[in-house]
Structure 1
Protein backbone atom coordinates (compact mmCIF):
# COMPACT_ATOMS: atom_id res chain seq x y z
CA UNK A 1 0.00 0.00 0.00
CA UNK A 2 2.44 2.58 -1.24
CA UNK A 3 1.60 6.14 -0.13
CA UNK A 4 -0.36 5.00 2.92
CA UNK A 5 0.68 4.63 6.55
CA UNK A 6 0.41 1.47 8.61
CA UNK A 7 -1.22 1.64 12.00
CA UNK A 8 2.24 1.49 13.60
CA UNK A 9 3.52 4.38 11.48
CA UNK A 10 0.57 6.67 12.15
CA UNK A 11 0.82 5.82 15.86
CA UNK A 12 4.44 6.94 15.77
CA UNK A 13 3.66 10.19 13.91
CA UNK A 14 0.70 11.19 16.10
CA UNK A 15 1.66 9.77 19.48
CA UNK A 16 -1.70 7.98 19.63
CA UNK A 17 -1.25 4.39 20.88
CA UNK A 18 -2.20 1.56 18.53
CA UNK A 19 -4.79 0.30 21.00
CA UNK A 20 -6.39 3.76 21.02
CA UNK A 21 -6.46 3.87 17.22
CA UNK A 22 -8.29 0.53 17.21
CA UNK A 23 -10.68 1.91 19.85
CA UNK A 24 -11.39 5.03 17.75
CA UNK A 25 -12.15 2.76 14.81
CA UNK A 26 -14.52 0.56 16.84
CA UNK A 27 -16.33 3.65 18.18
CA UNK A 28 -16.73 5.16 14.73
CA UNK A 29 -14.66 8.25 15.57
CA UNK A 30 -12.05 7.81 12.85
CA UNK A 31 -11.37 4.73 10.75
CA UNK A 32 -8.49 3.73 8.48
CA UNK A 33 -8.69 4.74 4.83
CA UNK A 34 -8.32 1.09 3.88
CA UNK A 35 -8.53 -2.29 5.60
CA UNK A 36 -7.02 -5.39 4.01
CA UNK A 37 -9.70 -8.05 4.54
CA UNK A 38 -7.16 -10.88 4.13
CA UNK A 39 -4.42 -9.62 6.44
CA UNK A 40 -6.68 -7.33 8.52
CA UNK A 41 -4.01 -4.63 8.21
CA UNK A 42 -5.16 -1.03 8.66
CA UNK A 43 -3.86 1.78 6.44
CA UNK A 44 -4.17 5.51 7.07
CA UNK A 45 -3.65 8.65 4.99
CA UNK A 46 -1.24 11.45 5.87
CA UNK A 47 -4.28 13.77 5.80
CA UNK A 48 -5.62 11.91 8.86
CA UNK A 49 -2.64 12.90 10.99
CA UNK A 50 -3.93 16.40 11.91
CA UNK A 51 -7.42 14.98 12.47
CA UNK A 52 -6.04 12.37 14.87
CA UNK A 53 -4.08 15.03 16.72
CA UNK A 54 -7.28 17.08 17.11
CA UNK A 55 -9.19 14.02 18.33
CA UNK A 56 -6.45 13.16 20.83
CA UNK A 57 -6.42 16.78 22.06
CA UNK A 58 -10.20 16.93 22.42
CA UNK A 59 -10.17 13.64 24.35
CA UNK A 60 -7.56 15.07 26.68
CA UNK A 61 -9.81 18.09 27.27
CA UNK A 62 -12.63 15.75 28.28
CA UNK A 63 -14.77 15.72 25.13
CA UNK A 64 -17.04 12.69 24.87
CA UNK A 65 -16.95 10.39 21.86
CA UNK A 66 -20.30 11.77 20.68
CA UNK A 67 -19.06 15.38 20.97
CA UNK A 68 -15.94 14.57 18.95
CA UNK A 69 -17.98 12.81 16.25
CA UNK A 70 -20.36 15.78 16.19
CA UNK A 71 -17.43 18.19 15.78
CA UNK A 72 -15.87 16.16 12.94
CA UNK A 73 -19.21 15.75 11.20
CA UNK A 74 -20.18 19.43 11.39
CA UNK A 75 -16.80 21.25 11.33
CA UNK A 76 -18.57 24.53 12.07
CA UNK A 77 -17.04 27.12 14.41
CA UNK A 78 -20.35 27.97 16.10
CA UNK A 79 -21.17 24.32 16.62
CA UNK A 80 -17.74 23.60 18.08
CA UNK A 81 -18.03 26.67 20.34
CA UNK A 82 -21.33 25.28 21.65
CA UNK A 83 -19.60 21.99 22.42
CA UNK A 84 -16.80 23.80 24.24
CA UNK A 85 -19.27 25.98 26.18
CA UNK A 86 -21.16 22.90 27.34
CA UNK A 87 -17.91 21.25 28.40
CA UNK A 88 -16.92 24.41 30.33
CA UNK A 89 -20.26 24.27 32.17
CA UNK A 90 -19.89 20.53 32.89
CA UNK A 91 -16.32 21.11 34.09
CA UNK A 92 -17.45 23.84 36.49
CA UNK A 93 -20.05 21.49 37.94
CA UNK A 94 -17.43 18.79 38.34
CA UNK A 95 -15.08 21.27 40.04
CA UNK A 96 -17.86 22.10 42.54
CA UNK A 97 -18.33 18.39 43.25
CA UNK A 98 -14.58 17.90 43.71
CA UNK A 99 -14.33 20.95 45.99
CA UNK A 100 -17.17 19.54 48.12
CA UNK A 101 -15.48 16.14 48.15
CA UNK A 102 -12.16 17.76 49.14
CA UNK A 103 -13.86 19.61 51.99
CA UNK A 104 -15.45 16.37 53.25
CA UNK A 105 -12.17 14.46 52.99
CA UNK A 106 -10.32 17.14 54.96
CA UNK A 107 -13.04 17.15 57.62
CA UNK A 108 -13.08 13.35 57.90
CA UNK A 109 -9.28 13.29 58.00
CA UNK A 110 -9.33 15.71 60.94
CA UNK A 111 -11.98 13.61 62.69
CA UNK A 112 -9.89 10.46 62.30
CA UNK A 113 -6.82 12.32 63.65
CA UNK A 114 -8.98 13.29 66.60
CA UNK A 115 -10.02 9.66 67.16
CA UNK A 116 -6.38 8.54 66.99
CA UNK A 117 -5.55 11.13 69.65
CA UNK A 118 -8.51 10.04 71.81
CA UNK A 119 -7.58 6.37 71.53
CA UNK A 120 -4.30 7.20 73.25
CA UNK A 121 -6.27 8.78 76.10
CA UNK A 122 -8.56 5.85 76.94
CA UNK A 123 -9.26 5.79 80.71
CA UNK A 124 -8.09 9.42 80.98
CA UNK A 125 -10.18 11.80 83.10
CA UNK A 126 -10.84 15.47 82.26
CA UNK A 127 -13.30 18.34 82.74
CA UNK A 128 -15.26 19.74 79.81
CA UNK A 129 -17.60 22.72 79.52
CA UNK A 130 -20.38 22.09 77.05
CA UNK A 131 -22.54 24.66 75.28
CA UNK A 132 -26.33 24.42 75.25
CA UNK A 133 -27.45 21.73 72.79
CA UNK A 134 -30.86 21.06 71.27
CA UNK A 135 -31.52 17.42 70.48
CA UNK A 136 -34.20 14.96 69.52
CA UNK A 137 -34.55 11.67 71.37
CA UNK A 138 -35.96 8.16 71.29
CA UNK A 139 -37.18 6.65 74.55
CA UNK A 140 -35.55 3.37 75.55
CA UNK A 141 -38.04 0.92 77.03
CA UNK A 142 -37.42 -0.60 80.44
CA UNK A 143 -36.18 -4.17 80.04
CA UNK A 144 -33.66 -6.68 81.36
CA UNK A 145 -32.46 -7.11 77.77
CA UNK A 146 -30.67 -3.77 77.64
CA UNK A 147 -28.85 -4.29 74.35
CA UNK A 148 -32.02 -5.31 72.51
CA UNK A 149 -33.83 -2.09 73.36
CA UNK A 150 -30.81 0.11 72.66
CA UNK A 151 -30.62 -1.49 69.20
CA UNK A 152 -34.34 -0.85 68.73
CA UNK A 153 -33.84 2.80 69.69
CA UNK A 154 -30.98 3.15 67.17
CA UNK A 155 -33.17 1.61 64.47
CA UNK A 156 -35.94 4.10 65.18
CA UNK A 157 -33.49 7.00 65.32
CA UNK A 158 -31.96 5.92 61.97
CA UNK A 159 -35.39 6.21 60.35
CA UNK A 160 -35.79 9.73 61.77
CA UNK A 161 -32.37 10.89 60.57
CA UNK A 162 -32.12 8.95 57.30
CA UNK A 163 -31.92 12.11 55.16
CA UNK A 164 -30.19 14.28 57.75
CA UNK A 165 -26.84 12.77 58.66
CA UNK A 166 -24.39 12.79 55.73
CA UNK A 167 -21.07 12.70 57.57
CA UNK A 168 -18.81 9.66 57.56
CA UNK A 169 -17.90 10.13 61.22
CA UNK A 170 -20.56 12.11 63.04
CA UNK A 171 -18.51 12.25 66.26
CA UNK A 172 -20.58 12.99 69.35
CA UNK A 173 -23.83 13.22 67.40
CA UNK A 174 -25.46 10.40 69.39
CA UNK A 175 -25.54 9.84 73.14
CA UNK A 176 -27.34 7.75 75.72
CA UNK A 177 -28.70 9.34 78.89
CA UNK A 178 -28.76 7.67 82.30
CA UNK A 179 -31.08 9.51 84.68
CA UNK A 180 -29.72 10.49 88.07
CA UNK A 181 -32.08 8.11 89.92
CA UNK A 182 -30.73 5.14 87.93
CA UNK A 183 -27.23 5.97 89.16
CA UNK A 184 -28.43 6.32 92.74
CA UNK A 185 -30.30 2.99 92.65
CA UNK A 186 -27.29 1.36 90.93
CA UNK A 187 -29.31 0.12 87.93
CA UNK A 188 -27.29 2.30 85.47
CA UNK A 189 -30.01 1.86 82.85
CA UNK A 190 -30.35 4.30 79.97
CA UNK A 191 -33.69 5.96 79.30
CA UNK A 192 -33.07 7.99 76.13
CA UNK A 193 -31.04 7.87 72.93
CA UNK A 194 -30.20 11.42 71.83
CA UNK A 195 -29.42 12.80 68.41
CA UNK A 196 -27.67 16.12 68.93
CA UNK A 197 -29.46 18.08 66.23
CA UNK A 198 -32.85 19.74 66.08
CA UNK A 199 -35.24 18.30 63.50
CA UNK A 200 -38.27 20.57 63.21
CA UNK A 201 -40.69 17.87 62.11
CA UNK A 202 -40.16 15.81 65.27
CA UNK A 203 -41.76 16.57 68.62
CA UNK A 204 -39.66 14.48 71.01
CA UNK A 205 -37.05 17.12 71.82
CA UNK A 206 -34.77 17.96 74.68
CA UNK A 207 -32.40 20.83 75.47
CA UNK A 208 -29.14 20.11 77.28
CA UNK A 209 -28.12 23.23 79.24
CA UNK A 210 -24.69 24.81 79.14
CA UNK A 211 -22.76 23.13 81.95
CA UNK A 212 -19.56 21.48 83.15
CA UNK A 213 -18.97 17.75 82.97
CA UNK A 214 -16.41 15.45 84.52
CA UNK A 215 -15.50 13.02 81.75
CA UNK A 216 -13.58 9.86 80.95
CA UNK A 217 -12.67 8.33 77.60
CA UNK A 218 -13.72 4.68 77.26
CA UNK A 219 -13.41 1.86 74.75
CA UNK A 220 -15.17 -1.48 74.91
CA UNK A 221 -18.63 -2.94 75.30
CA UNK A 222 -21.40 -0.84 76.79
CA UNK A 223 -22.03 -3.79 79.10
CA UNK A 224 -18.91 -2.64 80.99
CA UNK A 225 -20.14 0.93 81.41
CA UNK A 226 -20.96 0.48 85.11
CA UNK A 227 -17.29 -0.10 85.95
CA UNK A 228 -16.28 3.01 84.00
CA UNK A 229 -18.99 5.16 85.56
CA UNK A 230 -17.92 4.04 89.04
CA UNK A 231 -14.31 4.97 88.22
CA UNK A 232 -15.42 8.42 87.08
CA UNK A 233 -17.58 8.94 90.18
CA UNK A 234 -14.62 7.94 92.36
CA UNK A 235 -12.37 10.39 90.47
CA UNK A 236 -14.92 13.17 91.07
CA UNK A 237 -14.92 12.40 94.78
CA UNK A 238 -11.11 12.11 95.00
CA UNK A 239 -10.74 15.51 93.33
CA UNK A 240 -13.33 17.08 95.66
CA UNK A 241 -15.64 18.00 92.79
CA UNK A 242 -19.37 18.35 93.35
CA UNK A 243 -21.92 16.55 91.21
CA UNK A 244 -24.88 18.59 90.03
CA UNK A 245 -28.43 17.65 89.08
CA UNK A 246 -28.83 16.11 85.65
CA UNK A 247 -28.45 13.00 83.54
CA UNK A 248 -25.18 11.23 82.88
CA UNK A 249 -24.31 11.15 79.17
CA UNK A 250 -22.60 8.39 77.22
CA UNK A 251 -21.40 10.17 74.08
CA UNK A 252 -20.55 7.87 71.14
CA UNK A 253 -17.32 8.59 69.26
CA UNK A 254 -16.71 5.57 67.01
CA UNK A 255 -18.12 2.11 66.50
CA UNK A 256 -18.72 -0.52 63.79
CA UNK A 257 -16.87 0.33 60.60
CA UNK A 258 -14.02 2.01 62.51
CA UNK A 259 -13.37 -0.48 65.31
CA UNK A 260 -12.44 -4.04 64.43
CA UNK A 261 -14.51 -5.71 67.13
CA UNK A 262 -18.18 -4.99 66.19
CA UNK A 263 -19.20 -5.22 69.86
CA UNK A 264 -16.82 -2.45 70.93
CA UNK A 265 -17.28 1.30 70.76
CA UNK A 266 -15.34 4.40 71.78
CA UNK A 267 -17.33 6.75 73.96
CA UNK A 268 -17.11 9.44 76.64
CA UNK A 269 -18.93 9.23 79.94
CA UNK A 270 -20.00 12.67 81.14
CA UNK A 271 -21.20 13.43 84.69
CA UNK A 272 -22.55 16.93 85.33
CA UNK A 273 -20.64 18.88 87.98
CA UNK A 274 -20.93 22.31 89.56
Structure 2
Protein backbone atom coordinates (compact mmCIF):
# COMPACT_ATOMS: atom_id res chain seq x y z
CA UNK A 1 0.00 0.00 0.00
CA UNK A 2 1.18 3.54 -0.78
CA UNK A 3 2.54 5.10 2.46
CA UNK A 4 1.13 8.45 1.34
CA UNK A 5 -2.55 9.30 0.78
CA UNK A 6 -4.42 12.24 -0.71
CA UNK A 7 -6.93 14.28 1.26
CA UNK A 8 -9.97 12.44 -0.16
CA UNK A 9 -8.66 9.04 0.85
CA UNK A 10 -7.56 10.35 4.25
CA UNK A 11 -11.06 11.72 4.87
CA UNK A 12 -12.72 8.49 3.77
CA UNK A 13 -10.45 6.32 5.93
CA UNK A 14 -11.33 8.39 9.03
CA UNK A 15 -15.00 8.96 8.20
CA UNK A 16 -14.73 12.75 8.11
CA UNK A 17 -15.15 15.36 5.39
CA UNK A 18 -12.40 16.86 3.27
CA UNK A 19 -13.65 20.26 4.48
CA UNK A 20 -12.77 19.25 8.04
CA UNK A 21 -9.25 18.25 7.02
CA UNK A 22 -8.79 21.49 5.09
CA UNK A 23 -9.95 23.44 8.14
CA UNK A 24 -7.53 21.60 10.40
CA UNK A 25 -4.83 22.40 7.85
CA UNK A 26 -5.75 26.11 7.77
CA UNK A 27 -5.60 26.47 11.54
CA UNK A 28 -2.39 24.42 11.63
CA UNK A 29 -3.85 21.77 13.85
CA UNK A 30 -3.17 18.94 11.43
CA UNK A 31 -1.28 19.47 8.16
CA UNK A 32 -0.29 17.10 5.33
CA UNK A 33 3.26 15.85 5.87
CA UNK A 34 4.33 15.64 2.21
CA UNK A 35 4.19 17.94 -0.83
CA UNK A 36 4.96 16.63 -4.30
CA UNK A 37 7.56 18.99 -5.81
CA UNK A 38 6.36 18.32 -9.35
CA UNK A 39 2.64 18.93 -9.03
CA UNK A 40 2.35 20.46 -5.54
CA UNK A 41 -0.06 17.72 -4.47
CA UNK A 42 -0.21 17.43 -0.69
CA UNK A 43 -0.14 14.00 0.93
CA UNK A 44 -0.70 12.64 4.41
CA UNK A 45 1.60 9.92 5.64
CA UNK A 46 0.33 6.71 7.16
CA UNK A 47 2.36 7.62 10.24
CA UNK A 48 -0.09 10.53 10.69
CA UNK A 49 -3.09 8.19 11.10
CA UNK A 50 -2.62 7.84 14.88
CA UNK A 51 -2.18 11.62 15.18
CA UNK A 52 -5.51 12.25 13.48
CA UNK A 53 -7.13 9.48 15.52
CA UNK A 54 -6.08 11.34 18.68
CA UNK A 55 -7.66 14.55 17.42
CA UNK A 56 -10.91 12.83 16.46
CA UNK A 57 -11.07 10.93 19.76
CA UNK A 58 -10.66 14.10 21.80
CA UNK A 59 -13.12 15.95 19.55
CA UNK A 60 -15.69 13.18 20.06
CA UNK A 61 -15.29 13.66 23.82
CA UNK A 62 -16.31 17.27 23.35
CA UNK A 63 -12.95 18.98 23.73
CA UNK A 64 -12.49 22.27 21.91
CA UNK A 65 -9.91 22.57 19.16
CA UNK A 66 -7.96 24.90 21.43
CA UNK A 67 -7.86 22.24 24.16
CA UNK A 68 -6.82 19.63 21.64
CA UNK A 69 -4.03 21.84 20.36
CA UNK A 70 -2.80 22.35 23.93
CA UNK A 71 -2.55 18.59 24.32
CA UNK A 72 -0.80 18.11 20.98
CA UNK A 73 1.86 20.70 21.84
CA UNK A 74 2.90 18.70 24.90
CA UNK A 75 1.42 15.30 24.07
CA UNK A 76 2.42 13.44 27.18
CA UNK A 77 0.49 11.22 29.58
CA UNK A 78 0.27 13.79 32.36
CA UNK A 79 -1.33 16.33 30.01
CA UNK A 80 -3.70 13.68 28.66
CA UNK A 81 -4.78 12.61 32.16
CA UNK A 82 -5.33 16.22 33.20
CA UNK A 83 -7.48 16.91 30.13
CA UNK A 84 -9.50 13.72 30.58
CA UNK A 85 -10.02 14.37 34.30
CA UNK A 86 -11.40 17.82 33.49
CA UNK A 87 -13.63 16.37 30.81
CA UNK A 88 -14.88 13.73 33.25
CA UNK A 89 -16.03 16.52 35.57
CA UNK A 90 -17.72 18.31 32.65
CA UNK A 91 -19.55 15.14 31.63
CA UNK A 92 -20.69 14.41 35.19
CA UNK A 93 -22.03 17.97 35.46
CA UNK A 94 -23.80 17.60 32.13
CA UNK A 95 -25.36 14.32 33.29
CA UNK A 96 -26.76 16.14 36.33
CA UNK A 97 -28.13 18.89 34.09
CA UNK A 98 -29.74 16.31 31.82
CA UNK A 99 -31.26 14.52 34.82
CA UNK A 100 -32.77 17.83 35.91
CA UNK A 101 -34.13 18.45 32.41
CA UNK A 102 -35.65 14.96 32.34
CA UNK A 103 -37.29 15.57 35.71
CA UNK A 104 -38.66 18.89 34.44
CA UNK A 105 -40.07 17.27 31.30
CA UNK A 106 -41.75 14.48 33.27
CA UNK A 107 -43.17 17.00 35.73
CA UNK A 108 -44.53 19.20 32.93
CA UNK A 109 -46.17 16.25 31.15
CA UNK A 110 -47.70 15.06 34.42
CA UNK A 111 -48.98 18.57 35.19
CA UNK A 112 -50.59 19.04 31.78
CA UNK A 113 -52.18 15.59 31.84
CA UNK A 114 -53.54 16.30 35.32
CA UNK A 115 -55.12 19.61 34.36
CA UNK A 116 -56.44 18.84 30.89
CA UNK A 117 -59.04 16.45 32.29
CA UNK A 118 -62.46 18.03 31.84
CA UNK A 119 -63.60 17.05 35.33
CA UNK A 120 -61.11 19.47 36.94
CA UNK A 121 -62.68 22.59 35.39
CA UNK A 122 -64.97 25.01 37.23
CA UNK A 123 -64.86 23.10 40.54
CA UNK A 124 -63.89 24.87 43.78
CA UNK A 125 -61.29 23.00 45.77
CA UNK A 126 -59.27 23.45 48.91
CA UNK A 127 -55.62 22.68 48.15
CA UNK A 128 -52.48 22.63 50.27
CA UNK A 129 -49.58 23.96 48.22
CA UNK A 130 -46.00 23.39 49.37
CA UNK A 131 -43.27 26.01 49.53
CA UNK A 132 -42.55 27.60 46.18
CA UNK A 133 -39.89 29.97 44.95
CA UNK A 134 -41.20 33.17 43.45
CA UNK A 135 -39.94 36.21 41.57
CA UNK A 136 -42.28 39.04 40.61
CA UNK A 137 -42.57 42.49 39.12
CA UNK A 138 -45.39 44.98 39.43
CA UNK A 139 -47.23 46.88 36.71
CA UNK A 140 -47.42 50.65 36.46
CA UNK A 141 -50.75 50.22 34.69
CA UNK A 142 -53.14 47.35 35.27
CA UNK A 143 -53.58 44.76 32.51
CA UNK A 144 -51.07 46.40 30.19
CA UNK A 145 -50.11 43.66 27.71
CA UNK A 146 -46.80 45.39 26.98
CA UNK A 147 -45.88 45.47 30.66
CA UNK A 148 -47.02 41.86 30.98
CA UNK A 149 -44.82 40.58 28.15
CA UNK A 150 -41.81 42.72 29.06
CA UNK A 151 -42.32 41.78 32.70
CA UNK A 152 -41.99 38.09 31.89
CA UNK A 153 -38.82 38.75 29.89
CA UNK A 154 -37.41 40.84 32.71
CA UNK A 155 -38.04 38.08 35.24
CA UNK A 156 -36.56 35.35 33.04
CA UNK A 157 -33.44 37.39 32.28
CA UNK A 158 -33.04 38.16 35.99
CA UNK A 159 -33.06 34.44 36.73
CA UNK A 160 -30.67 33.73 33.86
CA UNK A 161 -31.97 30.22 33.20
CA UNK A 162 -32.96 29.33 29.63
CA UNK A 163 -35.50 26.80 30.92
CA UNK A 164 -37.14 28.98 33.56
CA UNK A 165 -40.22 29.69 31.43
CA UNK A 166 -40.65 25.95 30.95
CA UNK A 167 -39.93 24.64 34.43
CA UNK A 168 -41.76 27.50 36.13
CA UNK A 169 -45.34 28.76 35.93
CA UNK A 170 -46.32 32.27 34.89
CA UNK A 171 -48.78 33.92 37.24
CA UNK A 172 -50.87 37.10 37.20
CA UNK A 173 -51.01 38.77 40.63
CA UNK A 174 -54.31 40.19 41.90
CA UNK A 175 -53.86 42.39 44.96
CA UNK A 176 -55.34 41.10 48.21
CA UNK A 177 -57.56 44.16 48.63
CA UNK A 178 -58.88 43.77 45.08
CA UNK A 179 -59.70 40.15 45.87
CA UNK A 180 -61.63 41.18 48.97
CA UNK A 181 -63.52 43.72 46.86
CA UNK A 182 -64.22 40.99 44.26
CA UNK A 183 -62.37 42.91 41.54
CA UNK A 184 -61.02 40.62 38.82
CA UNK A 185 -59.85 43.07 36.16
CA UNK A 186 -57.20 44.92 38.17
CA UNK A 187 -53.90 43.05 37.89
CA UNK A 188 -51.08 44.05 40.19
CA UNK A 189 -48.18 42.37 38.38
CA UNK A 190 -46.70 39.21 36.95
CA UNK A 191 -44.72 36.44 38.63
CA UNK A 192 -42.84 33.24 37.95
CA UNK A 193 -43.46 30.38 40.37
CA UNK A 194 -41.20 27.36 40.81
CA UNK A 195 -41.15 24.16 42.75
CA UNK A 196 -38.10 24.45 45.00
CA UNK A 197 -36.26 21.47 43.50
CA UNK A 198 -36.32 22.88 39.96
CA UNK A 199 -34.59 26.22 40.45
CA UNK A 200 -31.36 27.26 42.18
CA UNK A 201 -31.19 30.87 41.11
CA UNK A 202 -30.41 33.48 43.74
CA UNK A 203 -32.70 36.43 44.32
CA UNK A 204 -35.91 34.43 44.52
CA UNK A 205 -38.24 34.69 47.50
CA UNK A 206 -39.94 31.80 49.23
CA UNK A 207 -43.71 31.71 48.94
CA UNK A 208 -44.58 29.77 52.09
CA UNK A 209 -46.71 26.65 51.99
CA UNK A 210 -50.35 27.19 52.79
CA UNK A 211 -54.02 26.53 52.13
CA UNK A 212 -55.45 27.83 48.86
CA UNK A 213 -58.92 28.00 47.44
CA UNK A 214 -58.53 27.01 43.79
CA UNK A 215 -60.54 26.71 40.61
CA UNK A 216 -59.47 25.86 37.06
CA UNK A 217 -60.84 27.37 33.85
CA UNK A 218 -60.06 27.08 30.15
CA UNK A 219 -59.57 29.80 27.57
CA UNK A 220 -58.06 33.27 27.83
CA UNK A 221 -57.64 35.10 31.14
CA UNK A 222 -60.83 37.08 30.42
CA UNK A 223 -62.83 33.86 30.60
CA UNK A 224 -61.95 33.45 34.27
CA UNK A 225 -64.12 36.14 35.86
CA UNK A 226 -67.14 33.92 36.42
CA UNK A 227 -65.01 31.22 38.04
CA UNK A 228 -63.23 33.87 40.11
CA UNK A 229 -66.51 35.14 41.56
CA UNK A 230 -67.71 31.57 42.07
CA UNK A 231 -64.54 30.81 44.06
CA UNK A 232 -64.93 33.92 46.20
CA UNK A 233 -68.50 32.90 47.05
CA UNK A 234 -67.26 29.41 47.92
CA UNK A 235 -64.71 30.95 50.29
CA UNK A 236 -67.47 32.87 52.08
CA UNK A 237 -69.85 29.93 52.18
CA UNK A 238 -67.21 27.74 53.80
CA UNK A 239 -66.18 30.28 56.46
CA UNK A 240 -62.74 31.09 55.04
CA UNK A 241 -61.06 34.47 54.72
CA UNK A 242 -58.57 35.72 52.13
CA UNK A 243 -55.05 36.15 53.54
CA UNK A 244 -52.99 37.46 50.61
CA UNK A 245 -52.64 38.21 46.92
CA UNK A 246 -54.33 35.83 44.48
CA UNK A 247 -52.57 34.24 41.53
CA UNK A 248 -53.88 33.35 38.09
CA UNK A 249 -51.43 30.55 37.38
CA UNK A 250 -50.90 29.59 33.75
CA UNK A 251 -50.81 25.85 33.19
CA UNK A 252 -50.89 26.08 29.38
CA UNK A 253 -51.18 29.05 27.03
CA UNK A 254 -50.25 30.16 23.52
CA UNK A 255 -46.70 28.91 24.08
CA UNK A 256 -48.07 25.36 24.28
CA UNK A 257 -51.06 25.38 21.95
CA UNK A 258 -52.53 27.54 19.20
CA UNK A 259 -56.03 26.52 20.33
CA UNK A 260 -57.47 28.96 22.87
CA UNK A 261 -59.75 26.25 24.22
CA UNK A 262 -56.60 24.43 25.37
CA UNK A 263 -55.35 27.36 27.46
CA UNK A 264 -55.62 26.32 31.12
CA UNK A 265 -55.40 28.63 34.14
CA UNK A 266 -55.79 27.93 37.84
CA UNK A 267 -56.92 30.66 40.21
CA UNK A 268 -55.17 30.28 43.58
CA UNK A 269 -56.31 32.38 46.56
CA UNK A 270 -54.59 31.95 49.95
CA UNK A 271 -57.12 31.44 52.74
CA UNK A 272 -57.60 30.44 56.36
CA UNK A 273 -60.59 29.45 58.48
CA UNK A 274 -62.45 32.27 60.13
CA UNK A 275 -63.29 30.05 63.09
CA UNK A 276 -60.53 27.46 63.67
Does the Cα contact within 8 Å between 1:175 and 1:194 map onto a contact in 2? yes
Quick check: 1:171 aligned with 2:172?
no
Instruction: Describe the SS at the equivalent of 2:248.
Output: strand
Q: 1:61-72 maps to which residues of 2 (within 5 A)?
A: 61-62=58-59
Quick check: 1:53 aligned with 2:50?
yes
CA positional deviation for 1:31: 1.0
Residues 206/190 of structure 1: CA separation in 2 closer, same or farther (3 Å cut): farther
1-structure distance, mates of 2:11, 2:148: 66
Aligned to 1:108: 104
Does the Cα contact within 8 Å between 1:6 and 1:43 map onto a contact in 2? yes
Instruction: Describe the SS at the equivalent of 2:264.
Output: strand
Q: Deviations along 1:151-174, whole A, 9 cap, x unmatched?
A: 536645754674336224243463
Aligned to 2:225: 226
Gaps of 5+ in 1: none
Quick check: 1:257 aligned with 2:255?
yes
2-structure distance, mates of 1:95, 1:55: 23
Aligned to 1:128: 127
Does the Cα contact within 8 Å between 2:219 and 2:260 map onto a contact in 1? no
CA positional deviation for 1:66: 6.0
Residues 249/163 of structure 1: CA separation in 2 closer, same or farther (3 Å cut): closer
Aligned to 1:246: 243
Instruction: Describe the SS at the equivalent of 1:147.
Output: coil
CA positional deviation for 1:114: 2.9
Aligned to 1:33: 34
Q: Deviations along 1:178-211, whole A, 9 cap, x unmatched?
A: 5366565x542335336458x9989xx9976722
Q: Deviations along 1:219-257, whole A, 9 cap, x unmatched?
A: 3222222122244456x38xx634423354322334453
TM-score (norm 1): 0.65
TM-score (norm 2): 0.64
Equivalent residue for 1:147, pick from 143, 149, 160? 143
CA positional deviation for 1:16: 5.8
Instruction: Describe the SS at the equivalent of 2:76.
Output: helix
Does the Cα contact within 8 Å between 2:4 and 2:43 map onto a contact in 1? yes
Q: CA RMSD in A?
A: 4.6
Instruction: Describe the SS at the equivalent of 2:32.
Output: coil
Residues 31/245 of structure 1: CA separation in 2 closer, same or farther (3 Å cut): closer
